[in-house]
Structure 1
Amino acid sequence: MVPTYVVGRLDGSETGSYLTLDVGGTFLRVVFVELLGQGKFNARHKKYRIDEGLKVGEATLLFAALINDTVGTLLAHAYQHTDTFIGLGLGTGSNGAYLEQIDRITKWRGDRQGRTEMVINMEFGAFDNERTILPFTKYDRILDQASLNPGEQLFEKMIAGMYLGEIARNILLDLKELQLLFQHDSSWALDTMWSFDTAYMSAIEADATLELENTGRVLETIAQVSGSTLVDRQIVKTVVQLVGQRAARLSSMALAGILCHLGLSSTGPIKHVAIGVDGSLYQFYPGFEKDIMDGLSDILGSKVRSQVNMGPSFDGSSVGAALAAVMAGSK
């Protein structure tokens, strides 16, 4: 729950030209953003490889100011939808940001300058690192222990695209060792950590063929499993569906928590919320948005479908940064 110092509210009328830097793990994008008003913008970019020395040097050599991409997602969506209160990142990693009343932010004691709202970067991937709430399975524990950061980001490891394929692989490996899958044959690929990418799960989820031939091709090409039976393929698809659905339903739990905190209700202070979402899992994983909305409906009631509008927030990391500069300049 990190104060971002991004205060105030966008109304879509903001204009101006801005340069932003979008820093990834490998590349740096220099983006020229033109805000045209009425929620419209143009963005042009050039991409450069980041010098290895900068990656391991002092952070101040690389960064003049820093904005989280999920905060940018919220701002970019708010430029086009003024009732935006939440930004979500559902891709390789997972995170959320939301617009909070400043008088509720007890950890920040700065000069409010008459401002009433500030964006909070939740970093909710670290939720329940104490392991007291979430329904961890043995497959979650196996993944966590094999990760680069055991005991950290546990919620993210249950819902983010970086990890779902590995969870599914561990389940399939367990079923194989129990002699319930693949006629007990070994598969060096299935035995190798991180070999079963979440993109393969997407292909299996989308397989609507009668004999699940596409699933068979994924298994043969990726997992080096030849001659899978229809029952094998049905089991694999069921496992993939369960892992994907669990991720979406847990994501809806996090979202429901934010909505309840904001006071969303037909009679409360907030009656409708727009949510900007970025990330490959949300954009490309079959049925992910539907499963999130189904989860929200189960938690908050069916009325939430008319109160919440989720939508993609494109290029939030650069356009959102430009909008943060607009808001900083208006203080």
Structure 2
Amino acid sequence: MSTDSIFQSLEKSFLLSRDQLKPIVDGFNLEYQTGLKTPSKGLATMIPSFVTKMPTGDETGTFLSLDLGGTNLRIAAVELKGAGKSVVHELKRRPTLELKTGEGSVFFDWIADAINDLVTVDARHLFSESQVAGKETLALGVCWSFPVDQTAVDRGTILRMGKGFTLQNTEGKDLADMFHGAFKRKNLNVKVTAILNDTVGTLVAHAYTNPACRIGLIFATGINAAYPEKVPLITKLDESIRNKYPENTEMLINTEIDIFGTEAYLPLTNYDLVLDNSHNQPKFQLYEKMLSGAYMGELTRLIALDFIKAGVLFGGHAPEGFDKAWAFPTMYMSTLENDDKTDHKASLELLSIFNFVNTPTLNDIAILTRICRIVSTRSAFLAAVPIISLIEQQKLLDADHDDIVVGINGSTYEFYPHMNLRVRRALDEWYGKEVSRKITLEVASEGGSVGGALIAMLCK
């Protein structure tokens, strides 16, 4: 087969038209309805946050927050300055594989040590002497980017985590209890006053900057979304709980959209199936595996191997190391797509980490970059699905909103070349530009840290 025919076949299976997106949007809309009435036990979606207050932008004060994502732990002292402004003093740490797959208590002790370092060393100047000495309790907002069955704003049961985390002896236990146990072991006077998913944090943090925000989206190592839902529609909550809230109250919902999607309506390719079969959690997070930063590079590598076997890439010879699973991370794709120099020096330097039989040619670079572009374009269109479906769920277009604001946080959206433009293109193709222009996509910086601090303050 020629290079052109191979690319035509690849594009046919990867690039999604509006008609191909529709079954996914419809599938998500059905999953919203199911999730809103299905109790959040075990592997759950549409998880109530118990957060019913949104910031006005006028809040002030200094608060402590913690944000654990798929890659990094971030502990922050957040100074809210009002007028939608904030200052963040942050400490960032990356858990090792041993920590992510080991005993849960050891992992929480590691977090407690990081909090102690922030309060007593890194950001000591932001706290009072009594707080640093442990005489005054510090309130902590925990932004937990993993499924939790929340029973109150500061209580919640840890569910199956995902994103490479398989902590031992944590599933089914209360998250706040795990933290407080570690704080007691480390002699820290810290209290968890709010637990929130990072996507809820993104929504709240961006609402502090722009109160018109109606959707919070994380598009990074993984993907997730949050939005405000009318409490009477959250029928998974006991009626006695729903009746406690005033009429027309909205509660923020953590959709856990990363675990949406079934083989019945997702347009899975052979590459998606191969990746899933090689994963340590097969059949789990099928949708997320099609588009997020954790998986795009591996999909590209699998496709490239087929191009090599066909003799149209790298002279038909796979470089040493390229045949190893996960040997081509998404950041490599970003370098290739960002390299607009005629000599492609950056791309050649990147590929030099592999041992080639022959030095890659400029044509090899062009072919590999085109594969990256196809994979990342599909990611952008799939990332638009939560935006489209949550606009439908909230009936925002029916209400004739002229400005539907989506706050988006995450490295894949913010830093992958042209990703923001491709998500916008997907919305243009779905709605047409006249309607699509009503949707504003804004980068929601510091979602976890600022959102955690805001909710710790709003709910203390």
Partners of 1:225 and 1:83 in 2: how far apart? 56
Q: Which moved more, 1:85-94 or 1:204-213?
A: 204-213
Is 2:284 the partner of 1:160? Answer: no
How many corresponding residue pairs?
A: 327
Contact 1:125 / 1:155 at 8 angstroms: preserved in 2?
Answer: yes
**Residue type of the partner of 2:253?**
I
Within the candidate set 61, 65, 81, 2:210 is matched to 81
Report the TM-score when normalising by structure 1: 0.91
Q: Check the 8 A contact 1:31/1:318 in 2, yes or no.
A: yes
Structure ID, larger Rg: 2
* Residue among 405, 426, 431 paired with 1:295: 426
AA aligned opposite 1:54: V
Moved more, 87-96 or 268-277: 268-277
Indicate conservation of the 8 Å contact 1:54/1:62, yes or no. Answer: no
* Alignment partner of 1:126 is 2:249: no
From 305, 312, 331, the counterpart of 1:173: 305
The 3 A distance-change label for structure 1 pair 93 and 22 is same
Which amino acid in the other structure matches residue 45 of structure 1?
A: E
Change (3 A) 1:46 1:240: closer
TM-score by length of 2: 0.66
Q: Distance in 2 between matches of 1:223 and 1:255?
A: 42
How many Å separate the matches in 1 of 2:402 and 2:327? Answer: 45
Regions of 4+ moved over 6 Å: 48-52
Structure-2 change in CA distance of 1:273 and 1:26 (3 Å):
closer
CA deviations over 1:238-282 (Å, ceiling 9, x no partner): 1010001000011112211111222232x6253322111111111
Measured in 1, the distance between the counterparts of 2:401 and 2:106 equals: 44
Quick one: distance in 1 between partners of 2:371 and 2:429?
Answer: 22
CA distance in 2, matches of 1:228, 1:43: 44
Judged with a 3 Å threshold, the aligned counterparts in structure 2 of structure 1 residues 240 and 264 are, in CA distance, closer, same or farther, namely: same
SS at match of 2:459: helix
The AA in structure 2 aligned to 1:323 is L
* CA distance in 2: counterparts of 1:230 and 1:319, whole angstroms: 45
| Aligned 8 A contact 2:52 2:252 in 1 | yes
Q: Shift in Å at residue 14 of structure 1?
A: 2.1
Task: Give, in angstroms, the shift of residue 224 of structure 1.
Answer: 4.2
Shift of 1:106: 1.9
**Partner Cα separation in structure 1 for residue 436 and residue 341 of structure 2:** 31
Structure 2 counterpart of 1:38, which letter? A
Given that 1:212 and 1:234 are in contact with CA atoms closer than 8 Å, whether structure 2 keeps it comes out as no
Q: 2: CA distance between counterparts of 1:26 and 1:238?
A: 27
- The 1:197–1:54 alpha-carbon spacing in structure 2 relative to 1, beyond 3 Å, is same
1:259 aligns with 2:391: yes
Letter in 1 for 2:258: G
Would the aligned equivalents of 1:274 and 1:309 in 2 still touch at CA under 8 Å? yes
- Report if aligned partners of 2:212, 2:405 keep a CA contact under 8 Å in 1: yes
**Does structure 2 retain, via aligned residues, the 8 Å contact 1:262–1:270?**
no
**Given the superposition, is the C-alpha separation of residues 263 and 42 from structure 1 closer, same or farther in structure 2, using an over 3 Å criterion?**
same
User: Could you report, residue by residue, the CA deviation over 1:102-151 in whole angstroms, capped at 9, with x for unpaired residues?
Assistant: 222221232442161111111111111x3111110000001001111100
- The correspondence of residues 1-331 of structure 1 with structure 2, limited to 5 A, is 1-23=46-68, 28-46=73-91, 53-55=105-107, 56=168, 58=170, 59=175, 60-62=177-179, 64=192, 65-109=194-238, 110-111=241-242, 112-114=244-246, 116-128=249-261, 130-222=262-354, 224=356, 226-265=358-397, 268=399, 270-329=401-460
Distance change >3 Å, CA 304–CA 54, structure 1 → 2: farther
Shift of 1:29: 4.1
Q: One-letter code of the match for 1:314?
A: S
Contact 1:264 1:272 in 2 (8 A): no
Worse overlay, 56-65 or 309-318: 56-65
Say if 1:31 and 1:228 are closer, same or farther in 2 by CA, change over 3 A: closer
Indicate the SS of the match to 2:433: coil
Distance in 2 separating the partners of 1:145 and 1:251: 23
Structure 1 residues 151 and 57: alpha-carbon distance in aligned structure 2, compared to 1, 3 A threshold: closer
State the alpha-carbon separation in 2 of the partners of residues 48 and 166 from structure 1.
25
Structure 1: unaligned runs, 5 residues or longer: none
Q: Distance in 2 between matches of 1:33 and 1:108?
A: 32
1:296 touches 1:304 (CA, 8 Å); kept in 2? no
